[in-house]
Amino acid sequence: MARAYILMTAMPPTTGHLQLIQFAQLLADDGVSVIVCTQPHEPLATERVAALRAAVAHHGLADVTIEHLHKTLEQDPAAPGFWDMWRELMLGFGITPSDIVVASEMYGQHLAEVSGAQFFPYDVGRDLNHAKATPVRNDPLSNFDDILPEFQPQLRTTVTVFGAESTGKTTLSRQLARELGGHWLFEYARPYLETTVNEITPRSMTAIWKGQAALQHQVDNLPAKPYVIQDTDLYSTVGYWQFPHWQKQLGACPAGLITDAAALKSDLYIVTKSNIPFEPDPLRYGGDVREGSDDYWLDICEQYELPYIVLETNDPAKRLRQATQAVRKVARQKAQRIAYDRHGL
């Protein structure tokens, strides 16, 4: 009976890491131990492990165990005692001479040798899957498809266009999604109210809350894209629920809604100002005026500590250009979370 052992840093976890695990499972008849080696000063250590565990569960790999080795270790294979250290570590994880080491890097050969196990290389030339962690770290936005889907939310940039009604949010969010090649998420309230009962009650607002939350979660089931641009999000629902003139019919904003909004908070809120003509709409209840002022929505941003910018211009081309620049800046900052050069193992 042979158990397969895989050593990886998975920074970040890629589709290649998952395929390596799947290949090892096909080889082994006693399960697979994946040892994810992270160090205390490295970014996203627990998130990497959680993503791999989620991927293993998602693909039904019941006989695969993800171990987390989180400690400061020597990284230079040429350092004295380096391979003795790894022999002791592998023995501690239970490796025996009847077991195998599977790797896409040639360090696996030496690891198997010092552990007394047999080495099985897999796709060393990246002929089956070109994904490698180093290029992904260097440019995660261009290599987003290579990132393990369960880890993609860590690097995806989510943006909400925010503010009063009839300020061009839908137009701008659509344009921004096209410009960035991202997913565009519509406002769930619109199709809900158009296809059910067009009224504001605790029942309808709760349905909008639940539908909007599900829609924002649905992004994880869509094809991989590094950007999600939302016409609105749950903080808009919070804002509408908190309208003073709606309090009599709605009551206090539910704590659960605020909790859900926080859990799905965007990386950036782009606030459009009320400096374009108001367009009446059957789903706008303020008659021929906006129900919420710019200051009201900015207060929502401040109250819930949302990261936001305000577009002062009403020129469509300038709005799009300023919004695009702001989103790309946030995306670059987010990508820096894994811009870390790890040498050796």
How far apart are alpha carbons 137 and 126 in whole angstroms? Answer: 17
pLDDT band with cut points at 50, 70 and 90 for residue 284? very low
Written in H, E and C, the secondary structure of 137-190 is HHCCCCCHHHECCCCHHHHCEEEEEEECCCCCHHHHHHHHHHHHCCEEECCCHH
pLDDT band with cut points at 50, 70 and 90 for residue 286? very low
Checking if the pLDDT of 285 tops 70, the result is no
Over the stretch 27-64, which tens digit does the pLDDT of each residue have?
Answer: 999 999 999 999 998 899 999 999 999 999 999 998 99
pLDDT value for 83: 95
pLDDT value for 166: 81
Q: What percentage of the chain exceeds 70 in pLDDT? A: 94
Q: Name the CA radius of gyration of the chain, rounded.
A: 25
Mean pLDDT is highest, among 143-147, 266-270, 276-280, for 266-270
pLDDT value for 244: 87
Q: Give, as one character, the DSSP assignment of residue 273.
A: P
pLDDT value for 343: 52
Average of per-residue pLDDT values in the chain:
91
Pick the closest to residue 34 from 80, 103, 110, 124 (CA basis). Answer: 103
Q: Give, as one character, the DSSP assignment of residue 229.
A: E
Burial of 42 (0-12, 13-18, 19+ CB in 10 A): middle
Tokens matching residue 74: 């020597």
- Which residue has better confidence, 17 or 133? 17
pLDDT band with cut points at 50, 70 and 90 for residue 230? very high
pLDDT value for 313: 92
**For the chain, which domains are there?**
4-142 (3.40.50.620), 156-337 (3.40.50.300)
Checking if the pLDDT of 271 tops 80, the result is yes
pLDDT band with cut points at 50, 70 and 90 for residue 280? low
Question: 229, 323 in Cβ contact below 8 A?
Answer: no
Average pLDDT over residues 163-190: 93
Tokens 């799009």 sit on residue: 320
Checking if the pLDDT of 345 tops 90, the result is no
Over the stretch 305-343, which tens digit does the pLDDT of each residue have?
Answer: 999 999 999 999 999 999 999 999 999 999 888 876 555
Residues linked to residue 118 through DSSP beta bridges, in sequence order = 100
Checking if the pLDDT of 198 tops 70, the result is yes
Q: What is the pTM of this model?
A: 0.86
Q: Which residues, 6+ apart, have CB-to-CB distance to 148 below 8 Å? A: 12, 13, 14, 15, 17, 18, 51, 52, 55
Q: 108-122, 287-301, 310-324: lowest mean pLDDT where?
A: 287-301
